[in-house]
């Protein structure tokens, strides 16, 4: 493996990293820096540009703080809802530049992936590849689910630590949201104790693209007890080099984080190669031959399935309809992935009892309406 690594990557203890992943003792943490779209544009800057935060007299945003990414809205409720909807549309678009990186990461057998971004981009890649996983997220000031399925490399957990965009009230957009979040973490009732145990029993944390230079990140690490005696034995590896040497020294001394100058995509490529040599990469499920033989349903018939609340069946036949109309259908296939991911997350919340009946019905109706609209778009292909 060492012949194929860049000089910096050779410094990493690849054997121990692989062993800890195989033993389900390695937790991967992802920040917005992992989702780099282009060398000259960060993910956060792309989102800010999408929202038009530099626009004078923005109709919803009074202040956007570049230093921490938090907002001050002109009107807290309605304008926050408007911006949340725009953020969701940003996350739900296709990101071709990330495809290879996400596909490689999905096949690496991590059992637990913790994201500080409230997106479902990686989860959609799991859906696209047909790989099993379980989604979950931290919903501040809400009790955790009573149900817990232990994550494994066969069915890893993708956990959004700062909320999930499909539950808008869970995400952290303002300073007030953040301090509510800290209070909730202090009270300790929103994260399942068995998940906390998974984090505490790990032997290694790998950090990719975390916001080290944000003022609140040290506070967040302390509140999450990363500096505690209980976690002192966890090896923490960060795959980047901070431009601020004093700040890097602080993280190294206070939180025992070892920094290795690298780029997230290069690290993922090398880890993918190392797992491949060790025979640990997940095998993608073969294409379902029954799917190719499945009789095509018309848009009207797919709509009938939606009306009968048979969404899984509707998604299946819509997938068949779109697959047979490539390449014109590529954009709509991504929309279908987004809808399926949203539906699976809703079912997960329903099964775990973390959503009330009213919100469940509202969310289900919204997904049904979007599904009907997608069918209409599919019907218009080639016209």
Domain range summary for the chain, segments of one domain joined by +: 2-38+93-277, 289-379
C-beta of residue 35 within 8 angstroms of C-beta of residue 121: yes
C-beta of residue 79 within 8 angstroms of C-beta of residue 73: yes
Going by DSSP bridges, is the β-strand pair 71-73/61-64 parallel, antiparallel, or unpaired? antiparallel
Reported as a pLDDT band with limits 50, 70 and 90, residue 2 is: very low
Instruction: Tell whether the model's pLDDT for residue 5 goes beyond 60.
Output: no
Statement: 2-38+93-277 belongs to CATH 3.40.50.720: no
- What pLDDT, on a 0 to 100 scale, did the predictor assign at position 4? 54
Point out which residues pair with 259 in neighbouring strands.
238
Reported as a pLDDT band with limits 50, 70 and 90, residue 75 is: confident
State if pTM tops 0.95: no
What are the phi and psi torsion angles at 262 (to 5°)?
A: -165, 170
Instruction: Tell whether the model's pLDDT for residue 6 goes beyond 80.
Output: no
CA dist., res. 178 & res. 164, Å (int): 14
Instruction: Tell whether the model's pLDDT for residue 64 goes beyond 50.
Output: yes
CA dist., res. 345 & res. 120, Å (int): 10
**Alpha-carbon torsion angle 218, 224, 226, 227, nearest 10:** 70
Instruction: Tell whether the model's pLDDT for residue 227 goes beyond 70.
Output: no
- What pLDDT, on a 0 to 100 scale, did the predictor assign at position 221? 86
C-beta of residue 321 within 8 angstroms of C-beta of residue 302: yes
Reported as a pLDDT band with limits 50, 70 and 90, residue 382 is: low
CA dist., res. 120 & res. 125, Å (int): 9
CA dist., res. 315 & res. 337, Å (int): 9
- What pLDDT, on a 0 to 100 scale, did the predictor assign at position 111? 98
């Amino acid at each position: 493996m060492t012949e194929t690594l860049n000089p910096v990557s050779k410094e990493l203890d690849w054997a121990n990293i692989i062993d800890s992943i195989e033993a389900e003792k390695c937790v991967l943490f992802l920040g917005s820096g992992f989702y780099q779209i282009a060398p000259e544009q960060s993910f956060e800057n792309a989102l800010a540009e999408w929202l038009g935060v530099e626009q004078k007299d923005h109709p919803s945003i009074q202040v956007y703080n570049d230093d921490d990414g938090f907002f001050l809205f002109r009107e807290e409720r309605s304008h926050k809802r408007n911006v949340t909807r725009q953020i969701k549309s940003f996350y739900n678009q296709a990101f071709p530049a990330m495809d290879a990186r996400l596909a490689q990461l999905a096949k690496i057998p991590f059992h637990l992936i913790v994201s500080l971004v409230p997106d479902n981009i990686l989860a959609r890649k799991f859906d696209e590849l047909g790989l099993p996983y379980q989604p979950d997220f931290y919903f501040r000031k809400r009790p955790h689910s009573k149900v817990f399925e232990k994550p494994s490399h066969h069915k890893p957990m993708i956990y959004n630590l700062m909320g999930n965009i499909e539950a808008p009230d869970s995400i952290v957009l303002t300073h007030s949201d953040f301090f509510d979040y800290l209070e909730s973490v202090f009270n300790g009732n929103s994260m399942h104790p068995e998940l906390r145990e998974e984090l505490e029993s790990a032997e290694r944390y790998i950090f990719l693209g975390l916001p080290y230079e944000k003022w609140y990140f040290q506070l967040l690490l302390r509140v999450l007890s990363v500096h505690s005696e209980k976690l002192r034995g966890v090896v923490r590896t960060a795959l980047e080099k901070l431009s601020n040497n004093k700040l890097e020294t602080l993280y190294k001394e206070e939180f025992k984080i070892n920094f290795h100058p690298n780029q997230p995509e290069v690290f993922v490529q090398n880890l993918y190669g190392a797992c491949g040599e060790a025979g640990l990469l997940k095998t993608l499920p073969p294409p379902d031959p029954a799917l190719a033989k499945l009789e095509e349903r018309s848009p009207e018939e797919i709509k009938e399935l939606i009306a009968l609340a048979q969404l899984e069946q509707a998604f299946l036949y819509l997938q068949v309809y779109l697959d047979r109309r490539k390449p014109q259908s590529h954009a709509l296939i991504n929309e279908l992935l987004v809808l399926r991911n949203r539906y699976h997350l809703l079912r997960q919340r329903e099964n775990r009892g973390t959503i009330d009946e009213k919100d469940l019905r509202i969310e289900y109706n919204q997904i049904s309406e979007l599904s009907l609209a997608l069918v209409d778009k599919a019907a218009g292909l080639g016209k």
